[in-house]
Amino acid sequence: MLGIVTVDDVIDALVEESTEDVQRFGGMEALDAPYMEIGFVEMIKKRAGWLCALFLSEMLTATAMQRFQGEIEHAAVLAMFIPLVMSSGGNSGSQATSLVIRALALQELKLRDWWRIAVRELPTGLVLGSILGVIGFTRIVLWQNLHIFSYGPHYLPLAVAVGFSLVGIVAFGSLAGSMLPFLLKRIGFDPASASAPFVATLVDVTGLVIYFSVAFLVLHGTLL
């Protein structure tokens, strides 16, 4: 009987662990109890901490946008694609993070393997970014030529800027998302603290800077 109880315990522990993993990857403290048994105030406490930390970090996007206010005033059409290009970086980063968190948890990867992941994630991100870049470019050119929406006379360099910035943002997202769990582990934190919202927040600010930098390079002399 002793053996059977131990096995049950192991299974209970595994199920509990994976519940914690999913909740933490969702960007909150683990609940440690079923949803319906947690009190209202306790629930707020478990969620507000990370939500506020993410909000304060995300404020850097407002700071970054202040720098580019001139560009936005000059070409409001640029602002239109901010959510689209920014979210793509967060999405690819979230994929990479979930892969690495799990591989570290299962000890398929050690801390010293970080560079092996980096040299895989960078080309993976470049290919994924190119796929999205082509879709983004095509969408702008199509919408313009089918007269669904007019992005103005400089729609072609605009489409090029959106396309190329997607390559850069998705590649950066994959790389940053895969390195974050290693970095957390290196400085003594649990790599599973690297939640999807955490990665998205990290990538959002850089994504904005990449987008406006590429736009400035491509659109200088035409739209900007």
Residues 133-172 that bind a copy of itself (CB under 8 A): 135-136, 139, 149, 170
Annotate 190-211 with b (16+ C-beta within 10 A) or e (fewer).
ebbbbbbbbbbbbbbbbbbbbb
Q: Judged by CB under 8 A, which stretch of 153-161, 183-191, 198-206, 216-224 contacts a copy of itself?
A: 198-206
Integer-rounded Cα Rg, in Å, for the chain is: 21
What x-and-dash track marks residues 60-79 binding a copy of itself by CB under 8 A? Answer: -xx--xx--x--xx--xx-x
Residues in 74-113 at the binding interface with a copy of itself, rule: CB under 8 A: 76-77, 79-84, 86-88, 90-92, 94-95, 97-103, 106, 108-109
160 phi and psi angles, rounded to 5 deg: -65, -40
Site mask for a copy of itself (CB under 8 A), range 167-196, x = bound: ---x------------------------xx
Q: Name the strand (E) or helix (H) holding 77.
A: none
- Reading the block at residue 219, the tokens are 């659109």
**Residues 97, 172 contacting (CB under 8 angstroms):** no
- Pick out residues in 11-70 that bind a copy of itself (CB under 8 A): 11, 14-15, 17-19, 21-23, 25-28, 31, 34-36, 40, 43-44, 47-48, 50-52, 54-56, 58-59, 61-62, 65-66, 69
User: Token digits for 51?
Assistant: 């939500």
